Structure 1
Amino acid sequence: MMQTQLVVSLFGKLDVVQMADLFEIIQQQNCRALDSHVMTFGSRLEMGLRLSGNWDRVTRVESALHEFAQKHQVEMNIYHEQSPEGREAVLPYVLDAIGLESADIAAALLRFCVRQGVSLREMSTRAYRPARSVERLIQLRAEIDIPTTCHLGQFKTDFFDLCDALNLDAAIEPSRMY
């Protein structure tokens, strides 16, 4: 049976009880939350979800989500997706890098991934000032999918060369999520 997917993005003031209510709405409509991600920015929360179900259940959950967003006065965007047919074989990896705060670290690492034909699944950055330091650091973490056709040893060498050129401490390791 063909499964329809919804990609849902919510932004606003939500607490943990309201987030639990949101997941209950999804379950009540017999849909599944395949992926979810929550981040707080001050008093605001951003939540991303990927839901799956047959088309009539997805239609029902979409209506319920619109009601939820209106009731709690949060911004919401919904995108319809079809389930991926056959995915290319990939190796899931995690890239970590840390160095002096610079706006071009994320851009440089993203350009590197594009040149290597690597897909980005998730990326986050966090700037902070360590204790007893006047310098601000930035930490980057990216979950990527490396095509199995890519030469892994060369990819790692090129990644570490880039990080050396940017003066970053870095690590790459297989993802433990699969």
Structure 2
Amino acid sequence: MHNNFLVVSALGEDRPGIVNELSRIIAESGCNIEDSRMTVLGGEFAIILLAEGRWNKLAKLEAALPSLGRRLGLTVNSKRTTPARHEGNLLPYSVEVVAIDHPGIVHQLASFFSSREISIRDMATTTYAAAHTGTPMFSVHITVDVPAAVHIARLREEFMDFCDQLNLDAVIEPVKG
């Protein structure tokens, strides 16, 4: 590992070939994709990725991104970053919540964890129509980093009480390897 990293985000109208073109530019620059998330939201394609490589290879990639963005009609941003800090005193927990969709669910969940100094590392949400009834439903998967000093049984009890009050169906459990 070269320990030089570049975060790249791109947003634009969805069409075939975007991932192919972006990954080709990264490979041709001599860099590697370490981590990535991509999705289609509405009619827009969105990607965020972490590229790794020698500093001069990352500079070559940075120089190639503006023309790629213009060619593909993407808004492309990039920023140099450092390796992720892996603090030994944090335990990853997976949180799954499903509820009838209504405004504010993400904020309520974020507030619960933030007020306890627990960081959200990853979050994915979706809305869908419930089978048979068509009721608008909301689903969220969150990975949180729980400090080792936190009493897990108490946290789980507080979280489940919190979700019960908001009529959220929830599960919180350790991330499995």
Q: Flag whether TM exceeds 0.5 (same fold).
A: yes
Q: Where do residues 1-178 of structure 1 align in structure 2 (5 Å cutoff)? A: 3-84=3-84, 86-89=85-88, 90-133=90-133, 135-176=135-176, 178=177
Counterpart AA for 1:23: S
TM-score by length of 1: 0.88
Counterpart AA for 1:88: E
Given that 2:14 and 2:40 are in contact with CA atoms closer than 8 Å, whether structure 1 keeps it comes out as no
Given that 1:120 and 1:143 are in contact with CA atoms closer than 8 Å, whether structure 2 keeps it comes out as yes
Structure-1 separation of matches of 2:157 and 2:20: 44
Structure-2 separation of matches of 1:158 and 1:138: 21
Alpha-carbon spacing, 1:70–1:95, altered in 2? closer, same or farther (3 Å): same
Match of 2:163, SS state, is helix
Encode CA deviations 1:133-173: one digit per residue, 9 max, x unaligned.
Answer: 25322111112221222222222111111111111111122
How far residue 14 of structure 1 moved from its aligned partner, in angstroms, is: 4.5
Match of 2:34, SS state, is strand
Instruction: Name the stretch that deviates more: 164-173 or 2-11.
Output: 2-11
Given that 2:127 and 2:136 are in contact with CA atoms closer than 8 Å, whether structure 1 keeps it comes out as yes
TM-score by length of 2: 0.88
Structure-2 separation of matches of 1:64 and 1:159: 46
Given that 1:6 and 1:81 are in contact with CA atoms closer than 8 Å, whether structure 2 keeps it comes out as yes
Match of 2:17, SS state, is helix
Encode CA deviations 1:77-117: one digit per residue, 9 max, x unaligned.
Answer: 11221224x53222122111111212121111101111122
Alpha-carbon spacing, 1:35–1:157, altered in 2? closer, same or farther (3 Å): same
Number of equivalences: 176
Counterpart AA for 1:112: F
Structure-1 separation of matches of 2:35 and 2:6: 11
Aligned-residue CA RMSD (Å): 2.0
Instruction: Name the stretch that deviates more: 74-83 or 128-137.
Output: 128-137
How far residue 17 of structure 1 moved from its aligned partner, in angstroms, is: 2.9
Given that 1:122 and 1:142 are in contact with CA atoms closer than 8 Å, whether structure 2 keeps it comes out as yes
Given that 1:11 and 1:46 are in contact with CA atoms closer than 8 Å, whether structure 2 keeps it comes out as yes
How far residue 41 of structure 1 moved from its aligned partner, in angstroms, is: 1.9
Structure-2 separation of matches of 1:21 and 1:117: 40
Match of 1:163, SS state, is helix
Instruction: Name the stretch that deviates more: 40-49 or 147-156.
Output: 147-156
